[in-house]
Structure 1
């Protein structure tokens, strides 16, 4: 069965930031969240360039969606590199990016950095992406427990991002079913809100926009000091 996405996004600058470096697309075929790297110049420019590079995929079908999404990530990376090369002030700028592309009965997930994609299926929450961070490497090595990662002092240290240098996005393909709910977010959510709370809100708040808003509200209430962006997308049959 061919499915499409019914999606909505909510983004909040947060109470401690003066600008929002998160950029997102909530489409019928394409969902994207990019988070400009804090502490680097022009993070909002990098995230905007990255999302613009993927935007045409909302309108264009591809015989090979995996190759198409991979190529789009490469275009995004190249656009950021070109922008940085043309301005000394933009050296080092970059962004994370996570994207979902609906293709028939399959979903293709592309990922670089520490923005995340989750799947809620039959009441069970599953993280589809792996964070490209120093702290995640410590978890993988058994140095710290997963529950310690959220409060680790170096949790914001990203080890892979779109910055114009060679990068290999992680690409995952899965079958998606009617009733599946996907959620993409910047780390402004997951730094403050645990998986149990995320699962509860995704399971109980029915409408995608209201669900995204509830998750953003939870992050702000928990004391998020970052921009917070949440995109909720439900898989539904194509009319």
Structure 2
């Protein structure tokens, strides 16, 4: 059994990263993650939170939800993690294009999964959601394929959420069903796009400026399936990242009623550190 299959998220320590914004804002990032196999016999979700090896304040968060049987799905998710790690280590934040990095992670992960399918006669696939934070710019860049999501919350409210590549999302977009009905639709797990499919459509890398106090959450469908946006607004605004991960995984397990999918999530909170000369009480960091 993989040692992460039942790894309690409460034991994953936050990742405090004090960094300096060029405009003068000093950031502190607190991150925590949770990974659980749910009620499945094996774990196909994988995740990483990676601090850049040479540049402080540059952080990459990645989640992959593998599909394709016991070994195929896990291999696909592992390929995503390995590809993201290797490309990020070669990335130069001061000179390289963050859009190009994320496009390359998605495309090379897709290519490696396709090669695995040819060599093993399996049909591995995976979702991906990856978010790159540049503290010196105060910006987040992200890309995704499939139905693993990125949420950004500000002042306790949902600021933005990625749009799923799924059959039910096309029905929602057409106005044929509501998001509430999509959650329990019999075809809610059917994807229109995933890594490893015959052709991967070109998808834009998106970006947004961030503010102190913003909370980023990346998760697989095994997590978000059991929560409304309002549920997540409350959890991310009331709880620190570690407690938020523990709460959401525990609550999702309860609501799944013994039929839950693999679960993976990453919660990152941005806080402002006091400038030199300010009192420490100005800091809201975890």
Question: When the two structures are superposed, what TM-score results if normalisation uses the length of structure 2?
Answer: 0.77
Contact 1:96 1:161 in 2 (8 A): yes
CA contact (8 A) 2:213 2:272 kept: no
Hey, what's the Cα distance between the residues in 2 that align with 1:6 and 1:109? 19
Tell me by how many angstroms 1:209 deviates.
1.6
What stretches of structure 1 move > 6 A for 4+ residues in a row?
Answer: none
Query: Structure 1 CA distance, aligned partners of 2:271 and 2:82?
Result: 25
From 241, 255, 264, give the equivalent of 1:229: 264
Q: Distance in 2 between matches of 1:216 and 1:187?
A: 12
Matched, 1:99 2:134: no
Pairwise mapping of residues 1-239 of structure 1 onto structure 2 (< 5 A)?
1=21, 3=27, 5-14=29-38, 16-28=39-51, 29-37=59-67, 42-59=72-89, 60-62=91-93, 63-88=96-121, 90=122, 92-103=123-134, 104-163=137-196, 165-167=198-200, 168-206=202-240, 208-223=241-256, 225-236=260-271
* Counterparts of 2:61 and 2:250, CA distance in 1: 21
CA distance in 1, matches of 2:131, 2:66: 18
Whole-Å separation in 1 of the counterparts to 2:206 and 2:220: 19
C-alpha deviation, 1:106, in angstroms: 1.3
Task: For residue 38 of structure 1, report the CA deviation from its aligned partner.
Answer: 5.7
- Is contact 2:116–2:124 with CA below 8 Å preserved after alignment? no
Asked if structure 2 preserves the Cα contact closer than 8 Å seen for 1:78 and 1:164, the reply is no
Count of aligned pairs: 235
| Cα pair 1:107 1:175 within 8 Å, conserved | yes
User: Is the contact made by 1:134 and 1:154 (CA closer than 8 Å) also made in structure 2?
Assistant: yes
Shift of 1:169: 3.5
Q: Considering only CA atoms, is the larger Rg found in Structure 1 or Structure 2?
A: 2
Deviations 1:5-46 (A, max 9, x none): 4321101111x2111100001234011111012668611110
| Highest RCO, 1 vs 2 (Cα 8 Å, sep ≥ 6) | 1
Question: Does the 8 A contact of 1:193 with 1:222 survive in 2?
Answer: no
In structure 2, the gaps of 5 or more residues are 1-20, 52-58, 276-286
Offset of residue 83 of structure 1: 1.1
CA contact 1:7–1:27 (8 Å) conserved in 2: no
Q: TM-score, normalised by structure 1?
A: 0.91
SS of structure 2 residue aligned to 1:47: helix
Deviations 1:84-113 (A, max 9, x none): 11111x1x2100000000123211011000
Instruction: State whether residues 98 and 117 of structure 1, in contact with CA within 8 Å, keep that contact through their aligned partners in structure 2.
Output: yes
CA distance in 2, matches of 1:127, 1:180: 11
Secondary structure of 2:127's counterpart equals strand
CA shift at 1:120, angstroms? 1.0
Is this contact kept in 2: 1:40–1:93, CA < 8 A? no
